[in-house]
A and B are shown apart, each in its own frame.
Chain A
Amino acid sequence: MTRTNTSDSLWILPADALPAFLSALAENGELWVPVPVGEGARFLPYREGLPIDLTQTPPAHPAKSILFPHSEVLFTYHRGDDGIPALTVPEFDSRFLVAFGVRSCDLHAINALDAIFLKRSVPDTGYQQRRERLRVIGIACLSPAATCFCDRMGGGPFDTTGMDVQIVPFEESYLFRILTEGGNQLLNPYLDYFQAADEGAIRKIAALEEGTSLQTGQPVDFEDLSQAIKTHNDDPYWEDLANACLGCGICTFVCPVCSCFTLVDEGTPRAGRRVRAWDACMFSTFTKEASGHNPRGAEVARVKQRFFHKFYYCIENEEPPGCVGCGRCVAQCPTSIDIREVIRHYQREGT
């Protein structure tokens, strides 16, 4: 956890100046902000007048959609009179891409997404260009939810991993803490909207940080957890979980790390597009082959796939763990399957 110190570049933005600042920022790039939708909030491209919710901790929808859109056109095809399909890849935006109001959990998840989309085999070009353009104005979590457990998974309410700028809401304003050169370049043109933070403000924020704690348990020892899960392949515990599971896939869609996808063609033989869309390992059709054979046809095989992937396969492959402790799946599972219980079940005694 980083502590506020006076060597950081600290700026104060009055809350009522936020829309003007965001509008100015959005003129020069792509800006994503948490927007209230239903009872939750999701990250959407900013436009003037859009309501912003910086209180949901965390927003119900994960920030992964900024880098890994729910659906993405990979290329379009169009057949001319000669019948030969011409393929066109959409142009990429070259301006910066700012993720505003993203929390520590979702930023730790980006490490895991990088492992999949950039390092596992060939780099995924769409993801890569968004990742390179990404600047993060993250937000500290002053009131973590009862389901949050990022403190056990490497994060924390004031953790700044992955942030170029961290904002801390206080009184009727926001403190902006510039953490990287990228953050400096991003905010520099807009400093007119800000006031330099004075000693009094800095003391108040230090007190806020001091007073915000999340202590849900010891940090998880992933090597241990991985070994424990690996050696409990036939544990009846998995059957218990499978009996509770509806197979609805919500846990995967709200997970900031889950990134299974499918590729589908939309269109006619003459013209259309190939789209990559979110998919889920919790669906039985996910692995069903043309012959009818299905290696993960049983619910229990799918439930195991989810937890084995997150806590054993990732570790075995030296990738970041597949869980960052955001607690979204805990909060949103209709049958209350709780990933914290799975961790507890396989953690060695005393940890």
Chain B
Amino acid sequence: MNRHPFLPQRMKIARIVDEVATHDILTFELVPLEGEIASYLPGQFAEISVFGVGEAPFGYASSPHEEGLVRFTVKRMGALTQELHRLGEGAVVGMRGPLGNSFELDRFRGKDLIVVGGGYAFTTLRSLIAYLLTPEHRGEAGRITLFYGVRNPGLFLYKPELEQWRDAEDFSLHLTVDAADEDWTGPVALVPDLVKEVAPETTNAVAVVCGPPPMIRFTLPVLEELGLREDDIFISMEMKMKCGVGMCGRCNLGPKFVCKDGPVFTLKELRELTDDF
């Protein structure tokens, strides 16, 4: 059979984790039904197929060091994500990936890392942090400062893991919510405000930002005020996609394609590509 770039690899859903109080975000753990898992890096994405419905792109939430499986965390939105949420463990889906660039890990080497995430777009940031916290990769970055905000405490993804990260060395965790519940003892603040208040050291730092557009928009000036240069700020972009390989003409920002040249861009690149930053 001819392999072509649109033929997915068949993957079995090995495990499903219900992530949040609203039950509309599930993490799917996939294992290959055939072949190996192609090697990938944090920040890349894959097109996931539900046969008969279509495909949609999701960032790898797993880290490359977790061998033999991949994980995607999917919020229920429209046609494909609803069908995906109806599938059970054991069902077979398709996967095309990895696609796109990744976080530029070489540029993080020896630097402190400020990670800013919001909402369910936290998926690839989880991949990045889990990767950098493994003993064999921990030396690749300096101090990691994580800001992660959601609307209310029930909406944090990967709660058990966040708890583990609290104790990690050279790591500081800043979780925040827009609205607290009785049990919440952390800050109630918007992500950009919290970043400003904590004001992490930026002399030898790079930042990674991933989240809803308003969070990104208000966080960028804060990071720049703290002293980060525009080519030390990395942003993961989202745009409607189909092909994932720069052919279908859908996801371009100016002359660049989010699927092929991104999804990760520096703020400097984005300013050259669009008027939105």
Contacts and interface: CB of A to CB of B under 8 A. Distances in A.
Contact of A75 (B7, B238, B248, B250): B7
B1 A88 contact: yes
A313 B8 CA distance: 30
Interface residues of B, number: 40
B167 interface: no
Interface string B5-37: 111101000000000000000000000010000
A291 B119 CA distance: 13
B36 to A, nearest CB: 17
23 contacts: A74-B4, A74-B6, A84-B10, A84-B33, A89-B4, A89-B7, A125-B4, A261-B242, A262-B248, A263-B6, A263-B54, A265-B53, A265-B54, A267-B52, A268-B52, A272-B51, A274-B51, A274-B54, A286-B250, A288-B240, A308-B254, A312-B255, A313-B255
Interface of A: 74-75, 77, 79, 83-85, 87-89, 92, 116-117, 120-126, 129, 233, 259-265, 267-270, 272, 274, 276, 279, 281, 286-291, 293, 295, 305, 308-309, 312-313, 316-317
Interface in B193-225: 213
A319 B246 CA distance: 13
A313 B51 contact: no
A121 B255 contact: no
B5 A89 contact: no
Contact of A274 (B6, B248, B260): B6
Nearest to A117: B247
Given A75-B7, A290-B81, A316-B255, A269 B52 contact: yes
A125 to B, nearest CB: 3
B5 A92 contact: no
B78 A290 contact: yes
CB-based closest 10 A-B pairs: A125-B4, A260-B249, A290-B77, A313-B255, A316-B255, A290-B78, A77-B51, A269-B52, A74-B6, A122-B5
Contacts of A267: 52
Contacts of A270: 52
A274 B5 CA distance: 13
A120 B1 CA distance: 24
Contacts of B243: 261, 263
Given A85-B10, A125-B3, A120 B247 contact: yes
Given A92-B2, A125-B2, A260 B250 contact: yes
A308 B275 CA distance: 15
A276 B6 contact: yes
Given A83-B91, A92-B2, A262 B7 contact: no
A82 to B, nearest CB: 9
A313 B81 CA distance: 33
Interface in B156-187: none
A124 B255 contact: no
B1 A89 contact: yes
B2 to A, nearest CB: 5
Contacts of B255: 312-313, 316-317
B247 A83 contact: no
Contacts of B51: 77, 79, 85, 265, 269, 272, 274
Contacts of A92: 2
A4 to B, nearest CB: 39
Given A233-B275, A313-B255, A124 B77 contact: no
B128 interface: no
A77 B247 contact: no
Nearest to A129: B2
Contacts of A312: 255
B105 interface: no
Contacts of A288: 240
A278 to B, nearest CB: 10
B247 A116 contact: yes
Nearest to B5: A122
B112 interface: no
B69 interface: no
Contacts of A295: 239
A83 B249 contact: no
Nearest to B51: A77
Contacts of A287: 239-240, 250-251
A291 B77 CA distance: 7
